[in-house]
Amino acid sequence: MVRKSAVGLVLMLMMTTLLTAQADHLIGNIPGRKTISLNGSWRYIIDSYETGFYNYRYKERRQTDPEAYWNTDIPRNSSERKEHGYTNSRTLQVPGDWNSQDKKLLYYEGTIWYKKSFDYKMPPSPGPVFLYFGAVNYRADVYLNGVKLGMHKGGFTAFNFEIPDTLLKRTGNFLVVKVDNRRHANEIPTLNTDWWNYGGITRDVMLVELPRSYIIDYSVHLKRIAGNDSIGGWVRLSGANPGEKIIVEIPELKIKQSYNVENAQVGIAFVARNLQYWSPLTPKRYRVIISSGLDRVEESIGFRSIEASGRQVLLNGQPLFMRGISIHEEIPGGMRRAHSKADALQLLGWAKELGCNMVRLAHYPHNEMMTRMADSLGILVWSEIPVYWTINFSQAEVLDKAKTQLREMITRDRNRSSVIIWSVGNETPVSEIRTEFMRSLLEQARELDDTRLVSAALEVHYDRENNINLIDDPLGKYVDLVSFNEYLGWYVGTPASCRTANWKTIYDKPLFISETGAEALSGYHGGEAVMWTEEYQAWYYREQLAMLDRMPSNFVGISPWLLVDFRSPRRNNPEFQDGWNNKGLFDHSGKKKKAFYLLRAYYNKKASLKN
């Protein structure tokens, strides 16, 4: 069926209007909805010159241009010229990155077009249908049946587009996504990072079917710990009419509360008796059901409180020491992005084996399987947006992009009990304009979610002359948790430097080491003073752990760098790195290094004391 160009133009205008509200219309709890998976094998075209997007004058092609790669590649007859084509001999698996699926794409940065053909069974009572992406790195231009649905930037957060009623067909639908993972100075992250720039449709793709009136999103959380615990939050609706009702149920607690709909967002609040709190020791979750009209969603939610109180962090009102580890979203054995439930179980299972009660998911929001698995395993989570190193802090458009990614991160995981810290960045250089940039992100995080801590990984001012390591970054004034990265013994001095190190901060707040570590090539052995050996890394950890016992009294935890070796183009020592950052306690194949056992013993000792 060939559509007239006028119809295509009308649809384009329709979608332009829809997209203005798209960021505020991200559907929450996708696993709890009626979905149709579009995962699997997708055909692809490598388009390094972006021929499918621009004509030979480097102007964006018209919507109906037959040579635009978003349009069909099937000639209508033998005389029609087509200079692009999708074939079964060139396919990529979705979800997945392209770097690990084809050797010629290992270092590729540029555009690849993905195409998926599918049929669609119309439901008896059709309502809105959304096209959902868990993540695409970095820019995604999305077309369905030759019509552009929209564009999204950000390689680690979910997004969706509502599909116009007339666009989906029973048979012969084709979805095309232009994916571009090139780095740019005014993007988030920017040009310079210390991790692999995996390109592709790296997380799930689904159609989401909703009733005409539906629940957009909701927040359900513990509001207070006292004699009677209170649960509060809100439910956001689309298409509901005044006078309708929202019902919130927690069957195990015999709770069923009804609320009248007066506008698009309804506040909820009720007392919950005999509530068992979620914690690393008892990761209790309750089945929560929210219904309104024809729509009904449910998920498992744990209830806990987290707060910075004076010089401590309190979980459910009790002092918390965070036995953490930092993790990249990567499975080293396959040198690929992690994306599945099995991947999450592998990484978080290793963290549990290490004795962790907390993980820092660096330096970007990880896939949803990680936070949901953390909920079930009882692992606290630090979640972060990729405001990393030298972002262009002077540009308003860059701040807008950071705020969008922050909002998308919080929207997806606001009901995850495991997430206790929203981080707005890592190792950003101090300046007035940077501090104002970061302060505005912290402010936005609190506005979007005031039930968690906010932080950022800061750097240390090493005063080697006076042997004082000072945390005085002006951003510390605005965070709940003063977190800092330190590499005393690797980038500064030797591990012996830890023996006389003095740590101070100008802030009377909880203090947390968000990174520390040393590289070791797995299987390379020698004296402990020989850099790159497992013995040197073990020495580093011995000195660091001994130093922790002399930290100030407001020291509340650590997340060393890091769990597993990961790929990085910055690491170019041909003998000891060869494109890998080898600071992991597990190596490329999952083998434990000597330092693993030292940190595990320390964590087991800390756990036996209280936490």
**Which one of 174, 209, 244 terminates a domain?**
209
Instruction: State the number of CA atoms in the 13 A half-sphere of 31 facing the CB.
Output: 11
Pairing of strands 229-238, 265-272: antiparallel
Please determine, for residue 3, whether its predicted confidence score (pLDDT) is greater than 60: no
Provide the pLDDT for residue 10.
Answer: 34
Report if residue 526 sits inside a domain.
no
Provide the pLDDT for residue 124.
Answer: 84
Report if residue 497 sits inside a domain.
yes
In this predicted model, which residue has the larger pLDDT, 562 or 611?
A: 562
Provide the pLDDT for residue 64.
Answer: 92
**Which one of 176, 192, 209 terminates a domain?**
209
Please determine, for residue 582, whether its predicted confidence score (pLDDT) is greater than 80: yes
Residues 151 and 197 grouped into a single domain: yes
Provide the pLDDT for residue 525.
Answer: 98
Residues 36 and 77 grouped into a single domain: yes
Provide the pLDDT for residue 16.
Answer: 36
Which residue has tokens 């002399």?
550
Q: Specify which residues 520 forms β-bridges with.
A: 532
By mean pLDDT, which of 121-125, 290-294, 404-408, 426-430 is the weakest? Answer: 121-125
Buried b (16+ CB within 10 A) or exposed e, 573-593: eeeebebbbbbbbbbbeeebb
Report if residue 528 sits inside a domain.
no
SS percent in the chain: helix, strand, coil, step 5: 20, 30, 45
Whole-number Cα distances in Å, 5 to 10, 12, 49: 9, 10, 26
For 226-239, the DSSP string reads SSSEEEEEEEEEES
Per-residue pLDDT tens digits for 240-259: 888 899 999 999 999 999 99
Report if residue 155 sits inside a domain.
yes
Percent of the chain with pLDDT over 90: 87
Provide the pLDDT for residue 468.
Answer: 86
Provide the pLDDT for residue 443.
Answer: 98
Q: What is the pLDDT confidence band of residue 326, given thresholds at 50, 70 and 90? A: very high
Please determine, for residue 533, whether its predicted confidence score (pLDDT) is greater than 90: yes
Q: How far apart are CA 584 and CA 537, in angstroms?
A: 10
CB of 179 closer than 8 Å to CB of 137: yes
Q: How far apart are CA 22 and CA 238, in angstroms?
A: 13
Percent of the chain with pLDDT over 70: 95
**By C-alpha distance, which of 582, 546, 530, 545 is closest to 561?**
582
Report if residue 280 sits inside a domain.
yes
Provide the pLDDT for residue 228.
Answer: 75
Residues 175 and 315 grouped into a single domain: no
Q: Specify which residues 327 forms β-bridges with.
A: 361
Sheet holding 34-37, edge to edge: 34-37, 205-209, 129-133, 159-163
Provide the pLDDT for residue 5.
Answer: 35
At residue 9, φ and ψ (nearest 5 deg) are -65, -40
Please determine, for residue 161, whether its predicted confidence score (pLDDT) is greater than 90: yes
Q: How far apart are CA 83 and CA 63, in angstroms?
A: 17
Q: How far apart are CA 363 and CA 214, in angstroms?
A: 34
Residues 500 and 416 grouped into a single domain: yes
Q: How far apart are CA 424 and CA 514, in angstroms?
A: 13
594-609 helix and 534-548 helix, angle to the nearest 10 degrees:
20
Provide the pLDDT for residue 15.
Answer: 38
Q: How far apart are CA 393 and CA 572, in angstroms?
A: 29
Per-residue pLDDT tens digits for 337-368: 999 999 999 999 999 999 999 999 999 999 99
Residues 428 and 494 grouped into a single domain: yes
CB of 285 closer than 8 Å to CB of 375: yes
> What's the CATH code of the domain at 396?
3.20.20.80
- What is the radius of gyration, based on Cα positions, of the chain? 25
Q: State which residues form the domain around 452.
A: 308-517+553-564+590-609
Q: Report which residue type is found at 192.
A: N
Residues 479 and 440 grouped into a single domain: yes
Provide the pLDDT for residue 225.
Answer: 61
> What's the CATH code of the domain at 251?
2.60.40.10
**By C-alpha distance, which of 52, 28, 446, 470 is closest to 218?**
28
For 522-583, the DSSP string reads TT----TTSTBSHHHHHHHHHHHHHHHTTS-TTEEEE--S-SB-EE-TT---TTTTSSEE--
Q: How far apart are CA 254 and CA 476, in angstroms?
A: 43
Residues 273 and 375 grouped into a single domain: no
Residues 439 and 326 grouped into a single domain: yes
Average pLDDT over residues 543-566: 96
Report the first-to-last Cα separation within the chain, whole angstroms. Answer: 64
Average pLDDT over residues 496-503: 92
Q: Which contacts of 442-445 are long-range, i.e. CB under 8 A and separated by 24 or more positions?
A: 442/478, 442/479, 443/478, 444/403, 444/406, 444/407, 445/406, 445/410
User: Looking at the 3D structure of the chain, how many domains does it have?
Assistant: 3
**Which one of 304, 332, 361 terminates a domain?**
304
Residues 378 and 501 grouped into a single domain: yes
Please determine, for residue 11, whether its predicted confidence score (pLDDT) is greater than 80: no
In this predicted model, which residue has the larger pLDDT, 239 or 518?
A: 518
CB of 469 closer than 8 Å to CB of 504: yes
Q: Specify which residues 266 forms β-bridges with.
A: 235
**Cα dihedral 525, 527, 530, 531 sign:** positive
Element (H, E) at 304: none
Q: How far apart are CA 149 and CA 60, in angstroms?
A: 16
Please determine, for residue 201, whether its predicted confidence score (pLDDT) is greater than 70: yes
Please determine, for residue 21, whether its predicted confidence score (pLDDT) is greater than 50: no
Residues 454 and 393 grouped into a single domain: yes
For 205-252, the DSSP string reads EEEEE--SSEEEEEEEEEEE-SSSEEEEEEEEEES--TT-EEEEEEGG
Report if residue 583 sits inside a domain.
no
- Cα 511 from chain centre: 24
Instruction: State the number of CA atoms in the 13 A half-sphere of 600 facing the CB.
Output: 14
Provide the pLDDT for residue 9.
Answer: 34
Report if residue 76 sits inside a domain.
yes
Q: How far apart are CA 597 and CA 611, in angstroms?
A: 19
Report if residue 173 sits inside a domain.
yes
Q: Is 320 helix (H, G, I), strand (E, B) or coil?
A: coil
> What's the CATH code of the domain at 163?
2.60.120.260
Residues 397 and 495 grouped into a single domain: yes
Sheet holding 255-260, edge to edge: 255-260, 245-250, 286-292, 295-301
Task: Give the predicted TM-score (pTM) of the model.
Answer: 0.93
Residues 297 and 321 grouped into a single domain: no
What string of H, E and C letters represents the secondary structure of 262-294?
Answer: CCCEEEEEEEECCCCCECCCCECCEEEEEEECC
Provide the pLDDT for residue 487.
Answer: 96
